[in-house]
Amino acid sequence: MDSPDNRIGIVAVVSLLMLSSFSIVAVAQNSDAGEGSIAWGLILCLLPFMILALFGILWSLAYPALFIWGAAFSSGDVEKSHQDAISRRMVSREKAGKEILNTINGGYRGDVSSSGLVHANGVFGPSHWQLLIAFFNNLVGGSVTSFQQVISAGRAEVMQRLREQAEAQGWDEVINVRIDTSSMTPQSQNNKNTVRGVEIFAYGTGIRYD
Amino acid sequence: MEQVVNGILVVNTETIPGKIITETMGVVSGSTVRAKHLGKDIFAGLRNIVGGELTQYTELLQESRQEAVGRMVSDAMSIGATAVVNVRFATSAITSGAAELFAYGTAVKYE
């Protein structure tokens, strides 16, 4: 089975083997050579840890910058994408002459010629700034506006994707539309550095009239 | 233009619009667990700080859902059905970055 998972495993194992054999060769060489090769052997052995440390340094530099970027632009971006989805919705509604999505189960017209499954999805997450705002909102109680904006903008976007998908596949209408919302974050929170996102998934049955 | 996957018609309504179901053949299902490679996970983590859509995970779930539907369809093919009706999806996050997608429905024959 030539799946990408297998290939990734092979590449990882081969690179680890190469790294260890290089370091062994380097250490073996230094027994008859001078002190310079001992240093090289050490460097080769420590290379993975050095790369990890480099990532740590980069992360500690990048995190505050990204956090400030998020604080400055995230709520504006959410608002913009919501407006964008609404305007695209108007365009596709004009093109079809009506709203093509509905939640009626079963064909209510007799002249259906073909049908099939249509689905669209998207994963949306609040920025860390919005998480912080939500934390303070939770202390006071009431509606958590920052989350609500993210979710409703995401849902509008996914519904629009479903409309566009139905248009692209040539369906006249999509019946029995269902919207699922599921958290990408696992329930057991051992580590804090998990990605927080909500997946919105919309699916329905596209039908075509004669 | 019939949207068929390997000759099997898939809908999420209880009946097939415009067709008559003659025989039900039981529940068929397909599931898959997939993950993105570490690089994409790191990018998703960075994107999460700024907020907005996590495109890597959107792709991941899209691919895995198609795979789950494909497995459900081959399950239906193996018992000789011609359509799957009333399809439902279930999602559960096992760890961050890997998700289990489950698709199930009723295998039927129609005319």
- Angstroms from B8 CA to nearest CA on chain A: 10
> What per-residue confidence (pLDDT) applies to B2?
42
Say if residue A120's pLDDT is above 90: yes
Most confident of A3-12, A69-78, A129-138, B70-79: B70-79
CB-CB contact of A182 with A124 (8 Å): no
DSSP-derived letter for residue A101 is B
Contact A116 B87 (CB under 8 A): no
In angstroms, the separation between the Cα of residue A142 and the nearest Cα of chain B is 22
Mean pLDDT along residues A36-48: 77
Residues of chain B below pLDDT 50 = 1-3
Largest CA distance in chain B: 53
Query: If you measure CA to CA, which chain A residue comes closest to B48?
Result: A127
**Which domains does chain A show, CATH number per domain?**
98-209 (3.30.110.70)
Q: Which of A180, A185, A176 is nearest to A204 (CA)?
A: A176
- Specify the residue for token string 């479903």: A162
Higher pLDDT, B43 or A33: B43
Q: Which two tokens stand for residue A186?
A: 């696992």
More confident residue, B40 or A62: A62
> Mean pLDDT throughout A116-144?
88
The helix-helix angle for B55-78 and B38-50 (nearest 10°) equals 130
pLDDT the model gives residue A84: 94
CB contact under 8 Å between A70 and B51, yes or no, is yes
Q: Could you give the angle at the alpha carbon of A189 between the alpha carbons of A74 and A56, nearest 5°?
A: 65
What pLDDT does residue B25 have? 92
pLDDT of A117 above 70 = yes
Instruction: Answer with the residue of higher pLDDT: B81 or A108.
Output: B81
Burial A54-69 (b: 16+ CB within 10 A, else e): eeeeeeeeeeeebbeb
Q: Does B37 touch chain A if contact means CB atoms closer than 8 Å? A: yes
Q: How many beta-carbon pairs below 8 A join chains A and B?
A: 155
Q: Which two tokens stand for residue A49?
A: 């840890």
User: Closest partner residue to B12 among A117, A170, A182, by Cβ?
Assistant: A117
Q: Domain limits of chain B?
A: 4-110
CA quadruple B37, B41, B42, B43: dihedral sign: positive
Residue A20 has pLDDT above 80, yes or no: no
Distance from CA of A86 to the nearest CA of B (A): 17
Average pLDDT over residues A30-39: 63
Q: Find the residue in B nearest to A3 (Cα).
A: B34
Please tell me which residue, A34 or A144, carries the higher pLDDT value.
A144
Which positions in chain B touch A199 (Cβ < 8 Å)? Answer: 57, 61, 91, 99
Query: Which chain B residues are Cβ-neighbours of A85 within 8 angstroms?
Result: none
| Residue B58 near chain A (CB below 8 Å) | yes
pLDDT at A202: 94
Q: Which pLDDT band holds residue A186 (cuts at 50, 70, 90)?
A: low
Please give the residue that has the higher pLDDT: either A194 or A82. Answer: A82
Of B2, B12, B48, the CB nearest to A195: B48
Interface probe, candidates B2, B12, B46, B59, chain A, greatest A C-beta count within 10 A: B12
For A189-208, write each residue's pLDDT tens digit: 555 556 778 889 999 999 98
Joined together, the tokens standing for residue B105 give 């429905």
Task: Give me the pLDDT at residue B97, please.
Answer: 61
Six-digit token string for A21? 């054999």
The per-residue pLDDT for B35 is: 75
User: Residue A115: its chain B contacts at CB < 8 A?
Assistant: 2-3, 9, 11, 13, 16-18
Kindly report the CATH class assigned to B4-110: alpha beta
Q: Is the dihedral of CA B64, B65, B69, B70 positive or negative?
A: negative
The region of weakest confidence among A23-37, A105-119, B75-89 is A23-37
Mean pLDDT, rounded, of chain A: 82
Which is it for the CA torsion A186, A187, A189, A195, positive or negative?
Answer: positive
Alpha helix (H) residue ranges in chain A: 4-32, 36-96, 128-140, 145-169
State what percent of residues in chain A have pLDDT above 70.
83
Vertex A25: Cα angle to A20 and A27 (nearest 5): 95
Q: How does pLDDT run across A151-162, given as a tens digit for each residue?
A: 999 999 999 999
Q: Tell how strand B83-95 and strand B8-10 pair up.
A: parallel
Q: Is A147 exposed, middle or buried (0-12, 13-18, 19+ CB in 10 A)?
A: middle
List the single residue in A73, A115, A178 with the smallest CB-CB distance to B16: A115
Q: For B84-94, b where at least 16 C-beta lie within 10 A, e where not — what string?
A: bbbbebebebe
The pLDDT of residue B8: 87
Name B90's Cβ contacts closer than 8 Å, sequence gap at least 6.
B101, B102, B103, B104
For range A110-125, the mean pLDDT: 88
